[in-house]
Amino acid sequence: RSVLWILTLVYVGVASVCLEVFGTTRVEGVTMLTADYGIVVREPGGGVSPRHKAMVALGAALLLLYPVGIPLLSYFLLRFCRRNPEYRGAVAFLTCGYRERHHYWEVLEMSRNLFVSVVPTLFPQNTALQVASAQCALVCFLVALPLCRPYKANADLLLQCAQLLTVWILISSGSLIEQGDLGAETRESVETLSLVVLISTLLLLAAECLAAMVVERARVRPAP
């Protein structure tokens, strides 16, 4: 259980590292690895270097083993534990807070994070594609959350929606600022709005944590 918990905790970071081997950048006719410009992928008029071929083969194996394998492993473990209730404690951290019929929702969250990580790594110079893909993934989850209501507590649903909406606004604001076509006043307004949204979300999260602490303390307090 502890090993699976650690693998899930570091999932996004490790998945991004596994994908870095596929990201390339072309500079003056020379294709180099985006994560390390010291590694030449393709010389002008030449083929792919043997070193990069080996790295791609290793990266593909690790991609199947970890970024794709962990969500699949989690899903099948959830199905197995659902059929065998005596083992549910081993995957309780994956299902905690979700309704019984949405016990698989954490796997969807991991898949969304994988999708959002893939596009920037494979297309580092296509900012429009990165923004569009991230926004589409966030909007899909923002629509699905109120419809499916996978969380047991309404407060958790509200927090998740607020988190996704905040990320969507920050991505949109960053894209507008990066375009460079905004005036000084408009740019300042966008930056202020992003800061206000971020602070509001943090305050909402702090309020939710405080409320949870108060409820838990009231629950364990002995009756007079």
What pLDDT is stored for residue 165 in this prediction?
82
**What is the per-residue burial (b if ≥16 Cβ within 10 Å, else e) of 201-221?**
beebeeebeeeeeeeeeeeee
pLDDT tens for 146-161 read: 888 898 888 788 888 8
The predicted model scores a pTM of 0.66
Compute CA distances 66 → 15, 57, 72, 113, 131, whole Å.
Answer: 7, 14, 10, 13, 25
pLDDT tens for 26-64 read: 777 778 877 777 778 877 777 777 887 888 888 888 777
Residue 182 has pLDDT above 60, yes or no: no
